[in-house]
Amino acid sequence: MTVSEIITALMDKARKLTGLTDKISIARLTNLMDHFDLHVNENLVYTDKVNVAVTSHTTDYYPEWVNTYLSGALKPNTTYTVSASATTSDPRVSQASIRIWNDRTDRQLMTSGDWSLGSWVFPADGKRYSYTFTTDDKGTSEDGKYNYVLWAYAGKMGDKAPGFDFTTTYKGIKLEYGDLATPLEKVGGVVKALLCALLPVRGCAA
């Protein structure tokens, strides 16, 4: 897709979102940006775990499984999207991971024996990634409490012990209902966010 095609599609979307029927220039749209509101879903991650560091020590009993809780219990048969960025203190550790786990029933979210559904592994390169999943109704424990939760790990969960200490730092972790990852905070509108990603227009933060 060419830049012209991208901009045309973007402007069409802008008119649909704003209710404008006439064609609108980028300059005029830029002036209107601050009046647009971007819907931001509630973050279901604990407020003190939105930014978190997880350290694996060689002296830990299971250094490849060091983790921390990120959320409360998830709902059954519900679609969620989790998004985050991560970095590691040692370049030899190139991945980060977040797991969908039920510590009451001691099982991970899975489908037809496929464990990968409940193991989100992504590059620890500082870029933001997202993962969409749907819970099942098999996480109910004997006490009737549904308890799939999210855990963040030091590096890639379950990988062999690296033999050195390192820390994986997660930033901006967000868990929300639905299949779309939205920003942590309002950024001035859908159109502004898209335009700022594509063009150096006035009003975009550096």
| pLDDT tens per residue across span 24-64 | 676 766 666 666 655 568 899 999 999 999 999 999 999 99
pLDDT of residue 177: 94
pLDDT of residue 117: 84
pLDDT of residue 206: 43
- What CATH number should be reported for the domain whose range is 47-177? 2.60.120.260
pLDDT band at 115 (very low <50, low <70, confident <90, very high): confident
pLDDT band at 110 (very low <50, low <70, confident <90, very high): confident
Give the containing element (helix H, strand E) for 3. helix 3-18
Averaged over 181-192, what is the pLDDT?
63
Q: What is the pLDDT of residues 138-151, one digit of tens each?
A: 877 666 667 899 99
Q: Are 178 and 79 in contact (CB under 8 A)?
A: yes
pLDDT at 198 over 60: no
| Cα–Cα distance measured from residue 62 to residue 183, given in angstroms and rounded to the nearest whole number | 34
Q: What one-letter code names the amino acid at 26?
A: I
pLDDT at 97 over 70: yes
pLDDT at 200 over 50: no
pLDDT at 120 over 90: yes
pLDDT at 128 over 70: yes
Q: What one-letter code names the amino acid at 169?
A: T
pLDDT of residue 197: 53
Residues of the chain with CATH 2.60.120.260: 47-177
pLDDT at 201 over 50: no
Give the containing element (helix H, strand E) for 152. strand 148-153
Q: Which residue has better confidence, 165 or 205?
A: 165
